[in-house]
Structure 1
Amino acid sequence: MSNNSRFRIDDVLDILSRTPKVLRLMLEGLPNDWLHSNEGENTWSPFDVLGHLIHGEKTDWVNRIQIIMNHGDTKIFDPVDRFAHLHKKKHNAIEILLDEFETIRNHIGQIVRVMAKNYHEEVGPWRAYLGHSSVQIILAKE
């Protein structure tokens, strides 16, 4: 994105909606050795990265949206535990995690679209990131 480009929520939603498909194309069907290999100490495997994304979708996005809606800009976000997913069991097949990520990401996209439509005046300091054209595009899609 160039310095002259304006952040537009419709562009972000488009990119976010593509992520599950891209990850599926990259990871599905690969041998477990590839999926669980990393670059060494304190690095993550593709399996770990996917777990991190799922954890973030479950614990960060929705919680932060709730903070914005309930407290505006008066409450600071809780810190993100970037490593929480590493403490969970890794028994799921990659296909199960890919399905879970796709489902969660689709729901997050729905939440963001609804919020942009219904609460575009109430998002406080984040209003600049919505942009008028983005809200109009979202409203037109409904």
Structure 2
Amino acid sequence: MEFNLTESIQILGKTPYVISDILKDLPDTWIKTNEGGDTWSPYDIVGHLVHGEKTDWISRTLIILSEVTDKTFEPFDRFAQFKNSKGKTLDKLLNEFCQLRSENLQKLKAFKIDEQALMKTGVHPEFGPVTLKQLLSAWVVHDLGHINQITRVMAKNYKIEAGPWPKYLAVLQDKL
């Protein structure tokens, strides 16, 4: 499927509401549990998404669209949420995510991005040159991946309680 900016903005605009609808008003047993080890809980994921709104997607878009010579992105701290979310309620994080996403999508629309702009590049610290189209596509996939992750983590809360059904419930199998 070809990248479509309008459709991408639609998906990006829905993400905060989808996640909020899934998590709002649930007890900590649903939002603070993870899959074990160094995995993330739904609470951690929302904190990660908030951090991304502040430091990743729009910041990198601005670099790509700018006239500066050095278009190297700042490295993204994938674990900043563990410090930045401390002491915040899930409701506060969800509201912050929703507000930041709304502001970022307004900025994105204001850029008036055309096909030529989508082909402009920035330099990712790990991948090297990337186009704006690739960055924006990754943003959409990133959102969908974290929605998937949240629902997978939550589903695993009932893996044992589901008795024999996990055999037929792909979300409960570790092959995803």
Q: 1 or 2, which has the higher strand percentage?
A: 2
Deviations 1:59-97 (CA, angstroms, capped at 9, x unpaired): 112321231233468522222110111123532221111
Name stretches of at least 5 consecutive residues in structure 2 with no aligned partner.
122-130, 137-176
Q: Which among 21, 27, 30 is matched to residue 26 of structure 2?
A: 30
Question: Pick from 69, 73, 76: which aligns with 1:77?
Answer: 73
**Structure with more contact order per residue of length (Cα contacts < 8 Å, sep ≥ 6):** 1
Shift of 1:128: 6.1
Aligned residue in 1 for 2:43: 47
The root-mean-square deviation of aligned C-alpha atoms, in Å, is: 2.3
**CA shift at 1:6, angstroms?**
1.1
Q: Is the 8 A contact 2:64 2:132 kept in 1?
A: no
Matches within 5 A, 1:1-142: 5-71=1-67, 74-115=70-111, 117=112, 120=114, 121-122=116-117, 124-125=120-121, 126=131
Using the TM superposition, give the Cα deviation of residue 8 of structure 1 relative to its aligned residue in structure 2, in angstroms: 0.5
Q: How far, CA to CA, are the matches of 2:31 and 2:117 in structure 1?
A: 42
8 Å CA contact retained: 2:47, 2:85: no
Gap change, CA 1:128 and 1:84, over 3 Å in 2: closer
Alpha-carbon distance between aligned partners in 2 of 1:127 and 1:53, rounded to the nearest angstrom: 19
Deviation at 1:26, TM superposition (A): 0.5
Look up the equivalent residue of 2:57 and give its one-letter code: W
TM-score, normalising length: structure 1: 0.76
CA 1:74 to 1:48, structure 2 compared with 1: closer, same or farther past 3 Å?
A: same
Using the aligned pairs only, state the percent identity.
Answer: 38
Decide whether the 8 Å contact of 2:61 with 2:132 is kept in 1.
no
Residues 96 and 75 of structure 1, relative CA distance in 2, 3 Å threshold: same
User: More helix by proportion, 1 or 2?
Assistant: 1
Give TM-score scaled by structure 2 length: 0.63
Distance 1:50 1:43 in 2: 13
- Once residues 31 and 99 of structure 1 are traced to their aligned partners in structure 2, the CA distance between those partners, rounded to angstroms, is 17
